[in-house]
């Protein structure tokens, strides 16, 4: 299912800038953030269908939420409850955790 979602994600070459690149991922992945009023919105890009699919799961949890809503939820635990780590390689789990961490920093929920 994750790979199928990932294949439907449209490429976003305009966000593939050095400042949007997430460090600590095995494959290059880019994440951008925009805030409209109190609500946060993210866009993600990668050449990996798996990482794009995981990003869909993440962005469903974050897009349109306020900092208070994001801080009130335990995003990492919510995603762990899906049991994804059983189906992903350690390097993909590590990369996904870096994406979550970066998204939380951009939303102001974690220190940079």
In this structure, whether the domain defined by 2-7+31-106 belongs to CATH 1.10.3720.10 is answered with no
Q: What would the mean pLDDT of 18-42 be, rounded to a whole number? A: 94
And the tokens for 41? Answer: 């919105």
- Domain ranges (residues) in the chain: 2-7+31-106
User: Nearest 10 degrees: CA dihedral of 82, 32, 102, 56?
Assistant: 0
User: Which pLDDT score is estimated for 33?
Assistant: 97
Nearest to 79 by CA among 58, 63, 65: 58
pTM of the model: 0.85
What pLDDT digit, counting tens, does each position of 42-101 carry?
Answer: 999 999 998 999 899 899 989 999 988 888 877 777 777 887 777 788 888 888 889 989
> Which pLDDT score is estimated for 46?
95
Report the distance separating Cα 24 and Cα 5, nearest Å.
23
């Amino acid at each position: 299912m994750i790979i199928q979602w990932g294949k439907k994600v449209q490429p976003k070459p305009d966000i593939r800038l050095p400042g949007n690149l997430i460090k600590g991922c095995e494959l290059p992945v880019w994440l951008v953030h925009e805030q409209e009023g109190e609500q946060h919105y993210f866009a993600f890009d990668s050449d990996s269908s798996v990482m794009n699919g995981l990003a869909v799961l993440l962005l469903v949890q974050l897009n349109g939420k306020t900092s208070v809503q994001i801080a009130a939820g335990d995003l990492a635990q919510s995603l762990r409850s899906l049991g994804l780590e059983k189906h992903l390689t350690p390097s993909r789990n590590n990369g996904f955790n870096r994406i979550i961490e970066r998204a939380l920093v951009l939303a102001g929920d974690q220190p940079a």
